[in-house]
Amino acid sequence: MKTAFLETSAVNRAIALGLDATAAHDCLARHGLRPVVGAHVVYELAATFLRPEQANVGKGLFRFVRDLDASFAPETGNLLAQEVLNLRTNAAVLPFLSDENQIATRLEVHRLAEGIFDGRAKAFIQGLEAEIGGEHPKMMKEYIEHVRRVRAKRRNSLPSLRQFEDVRDYFRDKAPEMIRAILHGQVTPAEAVDLSARLTSFPAIRATLASNLYLMYICIAHRAAPGDDKLDDYRHLIDASYCNVILSYDGKVRHAAPHIAPHLQLLAWEDLT
């Protein structure tokens, strides 16, 4: 059975449509799809509880996730670390949380579905926040500045870099260096070269590299720094990199998906019902 990653906006949309979680699960199953929810999605949904007046909204969101009976995907850093281990030892990448962590996550989802947002729940969410904050896709400012310097010197002889593909091709030789930066120097230069040559075998690293390049494309082509929310948007695409489908209503996610995770099929609930 194929897997369908539910991005945060898809959970919100399901609630807005009055979609029953069990019916949603059965609908996905009829299309040969198993639902997947990422750690970052759980974090974003749980942020609803930070505003006490939104507690009932938060309960509804987590009741949907609980009753959907989804599998949970790990945070981005976990996927990246697994791919590095796969490179070195050929160990299989496990795109879902271990049984122990699945149980722990399901327990917290159940508690949040009952509106229990106590110290334990806050500690759980803070743990996710720490993981997420430490692994944001990095904007490669030095390369953006490099393009600007070269453009200033070469003027009209430099390609305009108005399309994402232009930026991707321009920085192709820099890919190993960028991969090392993404992985915080945890791989050798030779390993980074190997990874860049075999990106299709490492979907999370490929999507993270593409996320960085897409952020650079926004900076270079539009001469504007992307907002922090874009980092979160693209994180969902990285976390979904081992899935077959992503359900999303976020225009930025849908626009970037063909460039960051081109294998993902973009769907909405309406496409399934």
pLDDT tens-digit series, residues 171-214: 899 999 999 988 988 999 999 999 999 999 999 999 999 998 98
Rg (CA), the chain: 20
Q: What is the mean pLDDT of residues 64-77?
A: 94
The secondary structure element, H or E, covering residue 5 is: strand 2-6
Q: Report residue 103's pLDDT band, with 50, 70 and 90 as the boundaries.
A: very high
Q: What proportion of the chain, given as a percentage, has pLDDT over 90?
A: 64
Measured CA to CA, the distance from residue 192 to residue 1 in angstroms comes to: 33
CB 204 within 8 A of CB 241: yes
Write down the pTM of the prediction. 0.89
pLDDT at 75: 87
Beta bridge partners of residue 267, listed in sequence order: 247
pLDDT at 123: 77
Cβ neighbors of 243 (< 8 A, separation 6 or more) are 2, 3, 4, 5, 36, 73, 95, 264
Measured CA to CA, the distance from residue 10 to residue 14 in angstroms comes to: 6
pLDDT at 18: 94
Tens of pLDDT, residue by residue over 106-151, are: 999 999 999 988 888 777 777 766 666 555 555 556 666 766 676 6
Measured CA to CA, the distance from residue 114 to residue 112 in angstroms comes to: 5
**pLDDT score of 228 more than 60:** no
CB 109 within 8 A of CB 62: yes
Q: Report residue 22's pLDDT band, with 50, 70 and 90 as the boundaries.
A: very high
User: Which structural domain, as residue segments, surrounds residue 138?
Assistant: 2-272
- Size of the chain in residues: 273
Beta bridge partners of residue 47, listed in sequence order: none
Q: Report residue 272's pLDDT band, with 50, 70 and 90 as the boundaries.
A: very high
Mean pLDDT score of the chain:
88
CB 238 within 8 A of CB 207: yes
Number of domains in the chain: 1
Q: 69-73, 159-163, 189-193, 229-233: which range is least confident on average?
A: 229-233
Q: What is the mean pLDDT of residues 204-225?
A: 84
Measured CA to CA, the distance from residue 66 to residue 82 in angstroms comes to: 27
**pLDDT score of 44 more than 70:** yes
**pLDDT score of 230 more than 80:** no
Show the beta-strand stretches assigned E in 7-147. 33-38, 71-73
